[in-house]
Structure 1
Amino acid sequence: MSRLAVVTGGGTGIGRATAGMLAGEGYDVLIVGRRADVLTDAVKWIGPQATAVPADIADPAQIPQVVAAVGDRPLDVLVNNAGAYVAGQNSTLEQVAAHWQANFESNVLTAVLMTTALLPSLRRPGGRIILTSSIAAQKGGGGPYSAAKAALHGYVLDLATDLGDQGITANVIAPGYVTDSEFFAGRMTPAGHENRVNATLLKQAGTPSDIAEAVRWLTGPGGGYVTGQIINVNGGSVLGR
């Protein structure tokens, strides 16, 4: 039986590239997301080893749909990639609360609920948990989004500590500026793109496949002794954190 992976936020960008990479490595991949039409397109792009699981995983009532899709198979890889910058107003305390809550739910609660629900299914030993953070967690600039992504760093340290003796690894990948995704949809200007590229030492933007390659390493034989780490893939925009 093929190995099994779950990739949340798997319909576009980094998630789709990661799911495609894992399918190429021989995994059956469940791609999870809120938009059924986007997931359907991703399945066509990835191929027959991908299965769409439409669910809003910030809603505890929808998590069982993913658990049912896994069934009684051992889960080899869980990539918690779902998340987004959620814009909001901050003129009143009520608006501030809503803005921060929305970013927490999108970026932290999705990972916590999915990991908690699928923890019994993870292969022991050998299971791999990966969380997608952001360069914003380390350099700021995103307000509640930066804070939410930074929360994943503390969370993964607990996961790695709690699960290490069961042979399960847990790590964070923190991407820098990545094009070909929906993250900056409607918000990126030519000047903004140039500034972000120039902030790298390599003077180039990252791509979803750059992040997928980091996942390939962490999920492959070479990543078996790596746990509790923040893996930066940012072209040198942030050094050595």
Structure 2
Amino acid sequence: MGCLGFIALMTSCQEENDGFRPGDAPAIGIAFKLSSDQTGTNANARVLESAVVIESGYFHVEEISLETEGRTANGRFEKEFEIEYDQPKKITLDRFDENADFFIEIAEGEYEEIEFEFELENANDEPAIFLAGTFTDPDGNSIPLQFEYFDDDFEFEVEIEAAEGEYFQVDRVNNPLFLFEMYPSNWFSGLSSAELENAEITNGVLLINSEVNEALFTKVKRKMKDDAEIEIKM
């Protein structure tokens, strides 16, 4: 895998979302936010971080698939299920909101592994993925930047495993929240300053999509897809 695009943290669910109240049933929460440190672990991203900073965005989730492995008093289990939305669910991104974007009810037990697969989709006139930020050129001039991904072929997987020989508990009391911190500036680390300086500007915005600045879009898309399968040990 290339540069790190996500990191997962596990905390306790406290808030309500979509009518779900912690304590009603065994469940896990999922939250997404932009990291305040967008340099991640990639050296090239640290160099470029002064040039491209992503401040907000959103993506639309059409379907979530889960695969789980664990144990109960009755023995080990492996389960799979899917959640499909009638209309894609819009997940907004910023650096501050750590509240759960989803609550998913699952069986009570001790879990060794949970694998999420998120399938993204356009929604109405909005792209499947949208990112907004700024590009700062070598002279210190700041230009608004927007990235748009209009397509229905993007999905990403996150596999979360307990430490070897250990489990994490899910029940009515223990509703873990998986917080996915995103480092979107890393997705732009394959772009040179010269490429960004020479990019087409549309109404004062450095717009990157499949039709405008297509070469830049292709590089960012490739970087995103390189990060689309993530394995995390808790």
- Normalised by the shorter chain, which TM-score bucket? under 0.3
Task: Using CA pairs under 8 Å that are at least 6 residues apart, name the structure with larger relative contact order, 1 or 2.
Answer: 2
Higher gyration radius (CA): 2
Query: TM-score normalized by structure 2?
Result: 0.28
Query: TM-score normalized by structure 1?
Result: 0.27
Greater per-residue strand proportion: 2
